[in-house]
Each structure stands twice: as structure tokens, then as C-alpha cells.
A = this chain, B = another copy of it.
Amino acid sequence: MGKFVFPNTKDLNRMTASGRPLIFVTNDDGVQAAGIAALIKLATEFGDVVAVAPNESYSGMSHSITMHRPLFVSAVTCEPGLEVYSCTGTPVDCVKIGFDEIFKDRIPDLVLSGINHGSNANISVIYSGTMGAATEAALYGIPSIGFSLTDHSPAADFTASVHYAREIIAQVLAMPAERLAGLCLNVNIPDIPLAEIKGIKVCRQTKGNWREDFVHRTDPHNRDYYWMSGKFYNFEHEAEDSDEWALTHGYVAVVPVQMDLTDYSRIETLREHIGR
């Protein structure tokens, strides 16, 4: 059994021995990305920080885990109040190895994932390694927040993202413990200047899906290959409670996320067709 001690609700949101909250940070763009550097710096304003992030980009890795090969972990930074590790696994692996092998009997107060280079709003949440890590942390009982900026560029400007992440982290750390158990937030920040952002909206996941357009070419060795690209199709442009509406209208979108995938609405009709 893993070494991580599962928290009771009363253990959440307590201070560490240093008198500060303990904050775990990860991402899916890799430990070298500008987005996690911005998030680690912000997290140190709030508490002691332990970061474990992939050694390369694991974008689009969803909730995947590495079962069939070993993982290697390297210390990148070890200062008082700030430890950063690089791991050869997926974002979810980073959470598991962070909790079970690095924290052991320490319990983090909060897990932050990101800041992702690119949107994880709408159905993108299910493909996202950033949100895979955040939801995994929530399964351990630790409140978590995934942050994503709607700009894929490696040189994206995280000024507005950090501003709103600071506000949301402070609000979450101030929430009563009974509202923190299992909390997982998918926060997306629109790629517009800070002064143009109208505020924060709590919303739901937009209905829609991705449509792919594979680039089909021949490689230098005369083999056909396909390279994925795609575009999100929004099925409900006018839905004011959807995260896409919030983003396109200049708001930071906050969607609470949970991991019970059961489609309760179908259970009764299925019992008519398939089994009791």
C-alpha cells in the first residue's frame, strides 16, 4: 500500500511545521515550461512548495499512467521551502510519485497544475494532462486547481493568469475545510490583457467536441504518415453558463470537476433493454 496518508477532512487546510501551507505543483508541459515557473513562483507566496513535473512535454496525456516501465526522478532545486523534481512519467505519475514517495507522511494543503500553455476548457478537459494531474490529486482527497491560459505559445504572457491564479488560490485556501474535500477546479484564463478581463465566472463544461483534420503526407522513407490537428466545435455558443461563453466574453472560467463518469440519466432505460 502507498505510503501517503489519506487526509481526514479535519486535516485539510492546516499549516505545515514551517507555519505555512504545503503546496504541490505539477503540469503537463514539462518542468522547463514558462507556465510552471510562473505557477511555482506564485505558489511560494502562499506556502512551502514541492513541485514534481514531467521531464518533457506530456501534453494531451489525459489521465494516463505508466505501468510497464520504471520511472526516474531527479532533483532540480532543493532550497528551504522549495523543492523541484523532474520525473520521466506522465502528469498523473508525477502526482502519485510525489504523494507516495516524496511526501510520504506529509499532507499537502493544495495541489496546483499548470499554468498550461493552451486552453483546457470545454471537452478538452478529458484530453488534458494538466487536468489529469489535478483530478488525480482530488482523488487523494486534496483540493486541486488546474490553470490554463488560452495561448499555446511557449512564450505566452502569464501576467493576467498569475493575477487571477493568485486571487483564486487565496479564495480556495480561505474556504472552510468541509468544502475542500475532493474539490477540483478547471480554471481557464482568456488570452487578453489583464485590464480587459471582466472578472471570474463559475461555469459548467461547454457541450461540443473536437474534429480532427489529419495532415496526410509521405515521409523521406516513402511511408505514409498522419499528423493530428483539430478544432473545437461548440454546440452551444449562446449558453451563458458555459466555460467557452465566459472565455469568449472576457471572463476567467472556473468549472468544478468530478470523476464519477456514470451516466445516471440512462440507467433506467438500460434496465429495460439489457439487465436489471
Which A residues lie at the B interface, using CB under 8 A? 1-2, 4, 57, 59-73, 92-93, 96-97, 100-101, 123, 125-127, 129, 132, 135, 139-140, 168, 171-172, 174-175, 179, 183-186, 199-202, 204-205, 207, 209-214, 216-217, 219, 223-231, 251-252, 254-267, 269-271, 273-276
Contact = CB atoms under 8 A, between A and B. Distances in A.
Nearest to A216: B101
Given A73-B226, A223-B72, A204 B264 contact: yes
B257 A263 contact: yes
Q: How many copies does the complex hold?
A: 2
Given A61-B62, A65-B127, A71-B225, 15 more contacts: A2-B212, A2-B213, A62-B62, A70-B219, A71-B228, A72-B224, A72-B226, A73-B224, A92-B127, A96-B212, A123-B139, A174-B273, A201-B275, A202-B274, A258-B263
A266 B199 CA distance: 19
Contact of A202 (B57, B168, B230, B275): B275
27 contacts: A60-B65, A61-B62, A62-B62, A70-B219, A70-B227, A71-B226, A71-B227, A92-B127, A96-B212, A96-B228, A97-B214, A123-B139, A123-B259, A126-B259, A168-B274, A172-B274, A201-B275, A202-B275, A202-B276, A251-B275, A252-B275, A255-B261, A256-B263, A257-B261, A257-B262, A257-B263, A258-B262
A116 to B, nearest CB: 13
B227 A100 contact: no
Residues of A contacting B: mostly = mixed
A57 to B, nearest CB: 7
B225 A72 contact: yes
A256 to B, nearest CB: 4
Most B-side CB within 10 Å, residue of A92, A200, A228 = A228
Contacts of A266: 183, 256, 258
B125 A261 contact: yes
Given A100-B214, A252-B275, A70 B226 contact: yes
Contacts of A276: 199-202
A263 B184 contact: yes
Nearest to A187: B274
B126 A261 contact: yes
